[in-house]
Amino acid sequence: MRAIVQDRYGPPDVLYIEEVPTPVPADDEVLVRVHASTVSQSDTHLRAANPFFWRLFAGLRRPRIRTLGVEFSGEVVAVGASVDAFKVGDRVFGGPRGFGAHAEFISVKESGPIAHMPAGMTFEDAAAVCDGTNEALATLRAAKIRDGMRVAIYGASGSLGTAAVQIAKHYGAHVTAICNTKNIELVRSLGADEVIDYTIDDFTKDEQGFDAIIDAVGKYAYRWGRRGLRPGGIYVETDLGPHKFDTLVNLVLTRWFGTRRLVFAGGFRNKADIVFAKALIEARAYRPVIDRRYPFERVAEAHAYVETWQKTGNVVLVVGAPQR
């Protein structure tokens, strides 16, 4: 099978396509022919080992994880002897426990983050569900989401942000979404109660304040966001971006001093969250947002675009000919 691989850390052009052995599913696994995946910020971080801490689990000198990709959609082509929830021909979506979805085939445990695709959904749309909803659920749980709470989502037009807006509304929160000018109408269409253009207004000056603020892109410092939190409020950080020192210091300080807290949220993919996302889609309470689609062979271009931090929603990687 073909897979996108890398043998060193670096810019997008370290990626190339190589013929590698097709996985053989274990007794409790299914083998999926991948029709679509995405290029996520996690993919670009690991490819470049930026920040440096990615090397601590992926390999100090060179990557032990050669194939990236955190989510997929496709068709089951083989099942292990003990698998009974899936059969050959099933259309499925989900994500590996780590990486590996940028390949023509992938093996996933039956009990892992995989589910049947919602009826009528395209492979490309289904591929853009898992990572955003998983990360959004992690941040909303960290924020102790509840009916009627006031939530601000900074970076509401990205993969995590567009999912967080929709899921927070599903839980009954009052959502203030913060994005740039070009994405205001899109974010409003996702159900946000208020949309603020960060190039014009400062959302932390809202007189009512917020029970929770989610930095969905890792670019807004806690020292700025604190003034927008109500007493007892929670600030959720999702990435060690340009304000990593501020984040690390306040993760400690807010644990011991004051009533406002900074917490860090990261999602771990699991079947329950995939099934929950499927139910939201079928109830028309969630839809994935896709910015661009790239063929498998243009993965380096997809990485370069994601690294501009200008993407809206998700960037899809089409494996083989586009399919529906």
* 178-207 residue pLDDT tens: 999 999 999 999 999 999 999 999 999 998
Q: What is the mean pLDDT of the chain?
A: 94
| Residue boundaries of the structural domains of the chain | 2-129+288-318, 132-264
Residue partners of 145: CB distance under 8 A and separation at least 6: 151, 168, 171, 173, 212
Look up the CATH architecture of domain 132-264. 3-Layer(aba) Sandwich (3.40)
Confidence of residue 321 (pLDDT cuts 50, 70, 90): low
| Overall average pLDDT of the 63-81 stretch | 97
2-129+288-318 and 132-264: same fold?
no
Would you place residue 97 in the very low, low, confident or very high pLDDT band (cuts 50, 70, 90)?
A: confident
Residue with tokens 């946000």: 192
CATH T-level topology, domain 2-129+288-318: Quinone Oxidoreductase; Chain A, domain 1 (3.90.180)
Q: Residue 324: pLDDT band by 50, 70, 90 thresholds?
A: very low
